[in-house]
């Protein structure tokens, strides 16, 4: 069990800034997110598209914003390994929060789908529009299969599981085509699959023209095989850790089915935000958003606050800068509640020795 003053649910921009504000006020903090990478919607939907409305930053991409926020929060979410830019202490990725249970002393026990358990004095929900979960192919046999993937590996120095094997990438949008291009052009040849197949229900893609042209060129050269068909079922076999997919059964335009053997399947059909278990935690909701107080951004549950796109209140604007403002007020409100005997006067990072010590400057 991990004990902490505050647990932040969501590692998007608002969640990362929330962690920074909590740490700045002297509270211990842990962050958990369902995605295998930090950055939330910015990284999941538009990592390389420009953002123009972050105060003081004329333009940055979602990837750059995420990296800057991780650097800012580093005193409280330090890198676990100096040689890795993707692993941070107190940041738990690929963990979907399942339950929120009150304890007798006013704290919260929080569990994830992968067995992590937190004992938190307070909880801050920064879950955006909900947990971003990958869309599937609608084939039941693929659920839980150990060789079915939804994300590219973040660390380029580590060989992906499909290196030297037959990889099928399913999808016809930008997510699928950009994955095919990245995998086919991996900097280290040893990290590339021995065979790369793009699977889509029809020979029409929905992607940027330049991206589609680049993938079409790979198909023309024979570097990528194109398979057209609709997955109907999968052939699996049992291995020690679970089931593995051996082949997909595809329905063609001619009404005939055929088998597509594979070693690994990468499903790239985009992500869909879902409230999921959050809707069962007993908070007051309005149209799939959490009602909060505008003074403290507290929910209807004690010591549970909600910030960013997940909350709603009169005049709410779903903008990044509003989420940063909400995270600041929520952190200060919790600091007073959890440390009632501590001085409550405002400190400034420009002059406060206490804040400088916490920041390590």
Q: Residue 133 CA to chain centroid, in angstroms?
A: 8
Q: What are phi and psi of 102, to 5 degrees?
A: -75, 145
Threshold 0.85, pTM exceeds: no
Tokens of 107: 């704290």
Category of 342 on φ-ψ map: left (φ > 0), alpha (ψ -120 to 50) or beta: beta
Q: Which residues make up the CATH 3.50.50.60 domain(s) of the chain? A: 2-132+272-359, 136-269
Q: What is the pLDDT of residue 239?
A: 64
3-state secondary structure 109-157: EEEECCCCEEEEEEEEECCCCCEEEECCCCCHHHCCCCCEECCCCCCCC
Pairwise CA distance, residues 152 & 182, whole Å: 9
Pairwise CA distance, residues 187 & 240, whole Å: 32
Architecture field, domain 136-269: 3-Layer(bba) Sandwich (3.50)
For residues 53-82, one letter each, b for 16 or more C-beta atoms within 10 angstroms of the residue's C-beta and e for the rest, the string is ebeeeeebbbbbbbbebbebbbebbebeee
Q: What is the pLDDT of residue 169?
A: 97
Q: What is the pLDDT of residues 110-141, one digit of tens each?
A: 999 999 999 999 999 999 888 778 889 999 88
Rg (CA), the chain: 23
Pairwise CA distance, residues 134 & 130, whole Å: 12
Pairwise CA distance, residues 173 & 45, whole Å: 12
Torsion angle in degrees (nearest 10) through CA of 119, 123, 124, 129? 90
Q: What is the pLDDT of residues 313-353, one digit of tens each?
A: 999 999 999 999 999 999 999 999 999 998 878 999 999 99
Q: Give mean pLDDT in consecutive 10-residue pieces for the chain, a chain of 361 residues.
A: 97 97 97 93 85 94 95 94 68 94 95 95 93 86 90 82 96 93 92 96 93 96 96 80 87 92 94 85 92 96 96 95 97 95 89 95 92
Pairwise CA distance, residues 173 & 256, whole Å: 25
Single out the residue of 277, 135, 252, 141 nearest to residue 202, CA to CA: 252
Q: What is the pLDDT of residue 45?
A: 78
Q: What is the pLDDT of residue 81?
A: 67
- Pairing mode, strands 131-134 and 271-274: antiparallel
Instruction: Pick 2-132+272-359's CATH classification: 3.50.50.60, 3.40.50.720, 3.30.420.40, 3.60.21.10.
Output: 3.50.50.60
CB-CB neighbours of 52 under 10 Å? 8
């Amino acid at each position: 069990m991990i004990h902490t003053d505050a647990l932040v649910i969501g590692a998007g921009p608002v969640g990362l800034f929330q962690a920074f504000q909590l740490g700045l006020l002297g509270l211990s903090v842990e962050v958990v997110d369902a995605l295998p990478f930090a950055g939330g919607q910015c990284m999941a939907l538009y990592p390389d598209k420009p953002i123009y409305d972050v105060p003081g930053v004329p333009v940055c991409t979602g990837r750059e914003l995420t990296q800057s926020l991780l650097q800012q929060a580093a005193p409280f979410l330090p890198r676990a390994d100096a040689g890795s830019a993707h692993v941070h202490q107190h940041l738990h990725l690929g963990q979907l929060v399942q339950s929120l249970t009150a304890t007798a002393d006013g704290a919260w026990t929080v569990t994830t789908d992968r067995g992590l358990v937190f004992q938190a004095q307070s909880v801050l929900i920064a879950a955006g529009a909900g947990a971003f979960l990958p869309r599937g192919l609608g084939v039941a046999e693929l659920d839980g299969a150990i060789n079915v993937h939804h994300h590219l590996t973040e660390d380029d120095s580590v060989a992906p599981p499909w290196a030297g094997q037959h990889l099928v990438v399913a999808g016809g949008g930008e997510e699928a085509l950009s994955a095919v291009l990245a995998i086919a052009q991996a900097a280290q040849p040893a990290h590339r699959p021995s065979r790369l197949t793009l699977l889509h229900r029809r020979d029409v893609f929905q992607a940027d023209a330049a991206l589609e042209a680049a993938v079409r060129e790979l198909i023309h050269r024979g570097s990528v095989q194109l398979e057209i068909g609709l997955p109907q079922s999968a052939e699996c076999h049992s291995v020690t850790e679970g089931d593995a997919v051996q082949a997909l059964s595809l329905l063609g335009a001619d009404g005939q089915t055929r088998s597509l053997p594979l070693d690994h399947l990468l499903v790239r059909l985009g992500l869909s935000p879902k409230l999921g278990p959050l809707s069962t935690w007993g908070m007051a909701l309005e149209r799939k958003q959490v009602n909060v107080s505008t003074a403290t951004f507290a929910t209807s549950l004690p010591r549970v606050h909600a910030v960013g796109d997940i909350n709603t209140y009169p005049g709410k604007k779903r903008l990044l800068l509003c989420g940063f403002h909400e995270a600041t007020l929520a952190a200060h409100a919790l600091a007073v509640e959890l440390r009632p005997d501590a001085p409550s006067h405002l400190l400034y990072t420009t002059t406060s020795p206490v804040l400088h010590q916490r920041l390590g400057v």
